[in-house]
Amino acid sequence: MRRSIPLAAIAGVTLALAACSGSGSGSGSTASATASAKPTLSGTLTMWVDETRIDSMKPIVDEFQQQTGVKVDLVQKVSGDIRTDFVSQVPTGQGPDVIIGAHDWTGEFVNNGVVATVQLGDKAKDFSKSAVSAFAYNGQQYGVPYAIENIALVRNNKLLKDTTAKTFDDLVTQAKTANTPFSVLIQQGDKGDAYHLYPLQTSFGAPVFKQKDDGSYTNEIGMSGDAGTKFAAYLQKLGKEKVLDASIDGDKAKQAFLDGKAPYIVTGPWNTTAFTKAGMDISVLPVPSAGGQEAKPFVGVQGAFISAKSKNPLLAQEFVVNFLTTEKVQTELYKSGGRLPALTAAASKVDDKVLAGFNAAGSTGAPMPSIPEMGSVWSFWGTTEVQLINGQAADPAGAWTTMITNIQNAIATKK
């Protein structure tokens, strides 16, 4: 699909934490004398996590149990099924109390009535604004963020030391001086990968949906018209020049970069851990513009949702709203998961060069739209792009316009 998140989680954070009073500020143990300061809650929460996130969650829930006395049953679900299973099992009462996932699940969950609302209250301002709004839908908050991720341009410093290119074309020209089989790797695959091409697309001024002033999306397609067709023609050009290749999927792109077969790759923090582990010297830079405007990647936000049918609503809220939002927990999750914390206080203390690079590249990006119709958009979008790249669609403007019509029809019939 559009992206994979093989998270090489480094678990094993040692814990030693004084009880946190329920006041929500997470400010230490000054109130421990009063009766309510050491809450001795009881009960069990069931929490669903996929295999990419479970290792970093384990120490966190242990800590929660130590602090509150609430046991958390971590259930590992397959990442391909967790979202569907949640939607189909919550109505039967068999679902979990809490699910850890990505912000773009919000629309589907709300549309099916399977998530509870959360109230961050004053805590909302302690978070990066776009991270909180990523979990909002129709003006209501449904999830609590803990990590932010986005893609950027990663350079192999052994092959190229410096990047002066201001445009993507210059970047390709410069990359070719490294004399490697590939210049700039952008993963595709049979079904395309619109996610990894999005920075190039936005540089033509063609966002997938139009945005309101507050950053939230309208359901009006933004990539139609001239800007979109120019991008389509550009894709075809990159395909002809063999910069982009449909047969290079995520694994192949990663391997080629690891093998030193390309000076640049457009990828996210889920892969850089493997690069640095392999002893590579890398730098993370923003993707240069291809169409004249700024290249903005999609921003993905990780967070926690509460089931609409949780039998332990208070305990679930305690975990999600009061525990997961503390600076200590967000920092621990950053250390084990390698993603930028969503909490500003925790994020400001991150001194990792690679993550700082991703952060800079994503600072202007917008969250991926979470409307349920996004499913139809992804598949048409990726397929058309891959057909432009491999030359199956000869007329870029026509193919792009047909794609827009098809997406609009798909969205219209879903209502």
Q: Which of residues 338-397 bind another protein (CB under 8 A)?
A: 372-380, 383, 387, 390, 392-393
Stretch that binds another protein, among 41-49, 144-152, 259-267, 268-276 (CB under 8 A): 41-49
**Binding positions for another protein, 251-270, rule CB under 8 A:** 252
* 211 close to 366: Cβ distance less than 8 angstroms: yes
What is the DSSP annotation of 251-316? Answer: HHHHHHHHTT--SEEEE-HHHHHHHHHTT--EEEEPPPBSSSS----EEEEEEEEEBTT-S-HHHH
Stretch that binds another protein, among 54-62, 137-145, 328-336, 337-345 (CB under 8 A): 137-145
Q: Using CA atoms in the order 300, 306, 309, 313, what is the torsion angle rounded to 10 degrees?
A: -170
Q: Is 110 in the site for another protein (CB under 8 A)?
A: yes
Task: Look up tokens 């509870």; give the residue.
Answer: 116
Determine, following the binding rule CB under 8 A, whether residue 117 of this chain makes contact with another protein. Answer: yes
Joined together, the tokens standing for residue 409 give 């029809």
Cα separation, 177 vs 154, whole angstroms = 17
Shortest Å distance, C-beta 214 to another protein: 14
Give the binding range for another protein (CB under 8 A) out of 52-60, 146-154, 224-232, 313-321: 313-321
- The residue from 11, 13, 43, 225 that contacts another protein (CB under 8 A) is 43
Q: Which tokens hold the place of 190? A: 């049979």
Q: For another protein, give the closer residue by CB, 117 or 293.
A: 117
Q: Of 2-10, 165-173, 305-313, 343-351, which part binds another protein (CB under 8 A)?
A: 305-313
What are 90's two structure tokens? 């919550």
Residue 411 in tokens? 């969205």
The CA dihedral of 347, 361, 294, 378, to the nearest 10 degrees, is -100
Instruction: Identify residues 149-178 at the interface with another protein (CB under 8 A).
Output: none
Specify the stretch interacting with another protein by CB under 8 A; choose among 17-25, 56-64, 160-168, 206-214. Answer: 17-25
Total residues contacting another protein by CB under 8 A comes to 74
> Which of 12, 91, 215, 292 is the binder for another protein (CB under 8 A)?
91
* 87, 159, 244, 299: which one binds another protein (CB under 8 A): 87
Q: What burial class does residue 16 get, using C-beta atoms within 10 Å of its C-beta: 0-12 exposed, 13-18 middle, 19+ buried?
A: exposed
- Contacts to another protein from residues 206-245, by CB under 8 A: 245
